[in-house]
Structure 1
């Protein structure tokens, strides 16, 4: 199933160009390099999440904190950069990501509707 070109396709194109500019080309990497870059991206995602938390008044007891909406939006975009890079490193295309998202979305709905009383290791094996 091929989706028509859209914004997700464009995001993947832009991210691939950006990564190539800094010398990250998953197509030419061996397994060891891919594992290292997966770790790099995972750490970057973790850091970007921490930066997003810093934009949000998470100290419920502190009255001085304010939501930094503009910077929170920037951090979400930074997260997307690293998430798309990770998907590309794992060999995913925009169509692959959309299909996996759609399937996982249905699993999430089933979990919510079923009360999600226990973790079923098998409910995501088809994704």
Structure 2
């Protein structure tokens, strides 16, 4: 099992534990779960902002790299949870990422049929 598959498996177990432990079985459909995960992800992104001194009106503090990394992992938790609720496997995510990354690179170098991208 590769690392991404392992992450997906662990997240599915965590999701199931939370759903069962909080009596959420059949309470929400996939669409609502994705909405809830987006809100949680936004909250975690906000916590990352706090770690990287985005408040220009305050004196900056030393960045706590470990705390920053933990917040990034929190984002990953909710992102993978959304993938699972969307019915996406780790392999699908990987393949779609490869295709999209290639498309994005082509756009940046001017090899796109879309007119609003240029090198």
Question: Does the TM-score normalized on the shorter chain lie above 0.5?
Answer: yes
Deviations 1:30-75 (A, max 9, x none): 9x62121111000011111010011002234644332121111001
Which residues in structure 2 correspond to 1:1-127 (within 5 Å)? 5-23=1-19, 33-60=29-56, 62-114=58-110, 118=116
CA root-mean-square deviation: 2.4
Unaligned runs of 5+ in 2: none
Q: Distance in 2 between matches of 1:105 and 1:84?
A: 18
* Partner SS state of residue 33, structure 2: helix
Q: Distance in 2 between matches of 1:101 and 1:52?
A: 23
* Partner SS state of residue 29, structure 2: helix
Q: Distance in 2 between matches of 1:114 and 1:79?
A: 32
Unaligned runs of 5+ in 1: 120-127
Aligned residues: 111
